[in-house]
Amino acid sequence: MKRIMLTVSYNGTNYHGWQIQNNGITVQETLQTAISKVLGKDIAVHGCSRTDAGVHAKMFCCHLDCDDNIPFDAFLRGVNSLLPNDIAILNCENVESDFHARFNAMGKTYVYKILNSNKKDPFIAPFVWQIERPLNIDKMNEFCKNLIGTHDFYGFSSSGRTVEDTVRTVSECVVTKENDIISLKISGDGFLYNMVRIIVGTAVDVSDGRLEPDCALSVFETKLRENAGVTAPPQGLFLEKVYY
């Protein structure tokens, strides 16, 4: 029996997130079905995280156990031919038998994209949060600086969180703008349920003047979700990279 790590990319628009559930089709279910058909047996795939419905991934890592000796190039061609066009396996490689895609991950980078324009663009609409009013990048970055470091991010998560330890270390959080696209990039050793989307929504509320740039300090101290901003919609969020 060998353990294989897969690197996957997907457009999450048509899926109810990564993890298998009863109320809709998921990326995990779709991937497992295709792999099981190629290998001729039921295969379980374990992911590095649980992306929400509508969230995308440029680099998502998962692992599976397999006793088949099918060459990797044939495996990739076979599985990708059965997957829909919005999911692709980019790479596969052998890993140690005790490797786990989730628990061995050292950190992740997420990028959230905002279309800051009053003009609609049907080609990028599924991948951005469109905000027509001008946003203040300087105020957003002032807020983001307060997130860097080790803090208790309980107040920046939703009630659906499944972990007790809510302390995380953020190593990078920066907002940039290119033409009409505003990107918030954040890297850390781990992220709580809806944490990135709440951070983005709070940054927008800071830009709009509804919250002060130092509001993160109050959220850390009180652990109150209501002291943070709105939760940004899912379609602008991308899991950019996973670090091992």
How far is it, in rounded angstroms, from Cα 135 to Cα 141? 11
How far is it, in rounded angstroms, from Cα 100 to Cα 243? 13
Q: Are 231 and 218 within 8 A, CB to CB?
A: no
Residue 152 annotated as catalytic: no
How far is it, in rounded angstroms, from Cα 232 to Cα 80? 32
Indicate the residue type of 165. Answer: D
The catalytically annotated residue of 52, 67, 73, 189 is 52
3-class SS at 226? helix
Give me the phi and psi of 139, to 5 degrees please. -65, -35
Which residues are known catalytic residues?
Answer: 52
